[in-house]
Amino acid sequence: MGPAERPPAVPLNLVGDYGGGGMLLALGVVAALYEAQRSGQGQVVDAAIADGAAVLMAAQYGLQAKGFWHNERESNFLDGSAHFYGNYLCADGRFLSVGAIEPQFYRLLLEKCGVTDPHFAKQWERAEWPALREKLAALFLQKSRDAWCELLEGSDACVAPVLSMAEAPAHPHNRARGIFVAQGGVVQPAPAPRFDRTPSELPPAAPPIGRDSREILRWLGRSDEAIDALVAAGVVHGAPS
């Protein structure tokens, strides 16, 4: 991932911690419970982050085995090399994402953008990708991101705005599906996946730090004087009087 001329900026910790770790473990536990209902037996679920990150690369390893994937960054059709799959700067300094891989979507993208240059017929000729990317880059610089979205969104041209975290909750699609919710003034993703019979609910907000400290310490047998001393020494954080 990332540009060819510098090390990649891997997106947060989504691949390892969340995708390869938490999601893999959650899937493993659900699968084990499903199997246990039928066999009546339990089993250990071994879900390592290294395993999960590798599993997420299964498609790329398959492409590599067929000679369709290369080790160099920015040399593959899904890593920013192909002109039909990547992000483009627009006239207002914001970005538009393009993912028109399939020929019918690619044709529609060109049609709606008014592109008639026969050069673009060479969609899968790797040697032509740099030149075609330059042409598309010049095209998308002619309008603002939102102007391109007005023209292309809602079609099968496979185009969407690159949204900031602040913009994403206000996008019409996200609002229509209720993808984000605001609880107690905190904007966050809504629970997913969704279930029609047993819908998920947001967990309650985390308590303020120290809200229950005194109660817990009293339950542990500490006197009020001892608790006051712990608070004064900074051992117990934020415990209200």
Q: Give catalytic status of residue 17 as yes or no.
A: yes
195-214: b or e for each residue (b if 16 or more CB lie within 10 Å)? eeeeeeeeeeeeeeeeeebb
The residue with tokens 């891989």 is 101
Q: How many CB atoms lie within 10 A of CB 146?
A: 14
The residue with tokens 């605001």 is 182
Q: Which two tokens stand for residue 211?
A: 């809200």
Q: Which two tokens stand for residue 82?
A: 């192909």
CA-CA-CA-CA torsion sign (204, 210, 211, 212): positive
Nearest to 169 by CA among 181, 157, 184: 181
Question: Can you spell out the DSSP letters for 195-226?
Answer: -SSS---PPPPPPPTTTTHHHHHHHTT--HHH
- φ and ψ of 44, to 5 deg: -80, 135
- Pairwise CA distance, residues 116 & 135, whole Å: 12
- Please tell me which residue in 17, 51, 146, 156 is annotated as part of the active site: 17
Query: Which residues are known catalytic residues?
Result: 17
